[in-house]
Structure 1
Amino acid sequence: MTITIRPASQTDLHGLLALYAELNPDDTPLSAESAGSIWKAVRHQQGRTVLVADLDGTLVGTADCVVLPNLTRGGRSILVVENVVVSNAHRRRGVGRHLMEAAVQLAESTGCYKIQLLAADGYEAHTFYEACGFRPLAQGFRRYLDRGRPAGPAGSDR
C-alpha cells in the first residue's frame, strides 16, 4: 500500500466531497455547480492547501491547511488545520499520520511557529493527535451560525 500525500487538484473534487460526506453524513449534499464554485475559491485562496492522501488514484484522506499571516511571534505565521478525514475503510493504516506529517512539513516550510487545530470530542481523535505530537494546551470554543437550521444540543459538535 503506497500512500501519496499531495495538494489537491481540480480533479479531486468528487473524492473530497465523498470524504466530507463521511465526516458530516447529515449534511445536505452540495449541487455540482455550488461545489465547483466553492472549490474554485478554495483553490485560489492564498495560503491554503488542501492535502489529500492518494492510494492508487483513490482519495482516502484529507486535511485542509491554511497559513495565517501573523503580527506576533516576530511575524511568524500560524497553520490552522481543519476537516481532517480518513475514509472509514482506510483507518488505522497510517493515512492520518502521513497527513499530519505533511501538515507539519507545510508549517515548517512556510515559517509557521505553531499548528493549531480543534479535535472533535472523543478518546480516539484525541489519542491520535497526541500520538502525532499535538498537545491539548488550550480550551477551544465554537459558535455555530447555522441560519435556518436547528442548532444541535448544547455541547454537541453541531
Structure 2
Amino acid sequence: MEPVVVRPFQPTDLPGATKALVEVHKTDGYPVEGVDDPQAWLRSEQVVAAWVAEADGVIVGHVAIMRPDGEDAASLWVRQSGEDEAHIAVLARLFVVQAVRRRATGRHLMAAAMGHALANNLRLVLDVMAKDVAAIRLYERLGWRKIGETTHHFGTSQSIPAVCYIAPKA
C-alpha cells in the first residue's frame, strides 16, 4: 500500500473527488447538502484553494479553503475578535473515505490547508455538525478552539446542531 499523498486539487481530480464524496456521504451522512450536484459543491466559486489526498492512484480525501459567505463561524469570529473578514477564510469540504482514515489522511489535509492559510495571512474558521464527533476530535487535537454553537440549515427547512471553531494562530 502506497502512502497517502496530499497535493493541490487539479481540475482533472473532479471525477475522483466526486466519487470519494459520494462514498463518504453513504458511510457517514456527510455532507448533508451538495450530494445532488457534487461537482458544483466541490468547485464552488467561493473556493480559494483546495487539496486532495491520493492513495494508490485514487482520490481518497479532499479539503478546501473558502471565502466567507455568511457562515456562522466567520460572523461569530468577526464579532468576537474584531478582525476584518478579509483576513478570515472558512475551512470546508473536508472528507476522507473510510478505508484510509487510520493513515492520518485528515491530519495531512488539514496541515495543507492550515499552512496555506498561515502563508497567506488568513485566519481559518469552520463549523462542524455536532454529530460528527470524529471530525471534532481531529480539530481539537490540532489545536482548534471552540468559539460557539449554531444551527446548520440545509435542504427544505432542515437543520442540525453545529459547533464553530477557530484555528490556532500558528
Describe how 1:78-93 pairs up with structure 2 within 5 A. 78-93=88-103
TM norm structure 2:
0.68
How far apart in 1 are the matches of 2:22 and 2:3? 24
How far apart in 2 are the matches of 1:50 and 1:79? 12
Question: Is the Cα contact below 8 Å between 1:52 and 1:59 reproduced in 2?
Answer: yes
Partner of residue 125 from structure 2, selected from 108, 113, 116: 116
TM norm structure 1:
0.73
How far apart in 1 are the matches of 2:92 and 2:128? 9
Q: Assess, with a 3 A threshold, how the Cα gap between structure 1 residues 130 and 17 changes in structure 2: closer, same or farther.
A: same
Describe how 1:1-158 pairs up with structure 2 within 5 A. 1-25=2-26, 38=40, 42=43, 45=45, 48-68=48-68, 73=83, 77-112=87-122, 114-120=123-129, 121-144=131-154, 146-147=155-156, 151-152=157-158, 155=160
Unaligned 5+ segments in structure 1 are: none
Q: Assess, with a 3 A threshold, how the Cα gap between structure 1 residues 126 and 75 changes in structure 2: closer, same or farther.
A: closer
Unaligned 5+ segments in structure 2 are: 163-170
Question: Is the Cα contact below 8 Å between 1:63 and 1:85 reproduced in 2?
Answer: yes
State the number of aligned residues: 145
Greater Rg over alpha carbons, structure: 1
Identity of aligned residues (%): 25
Identify the structure with the greater strand proportion.
Answer: 2
| RMSD of equivalent CA atoms | 3.3
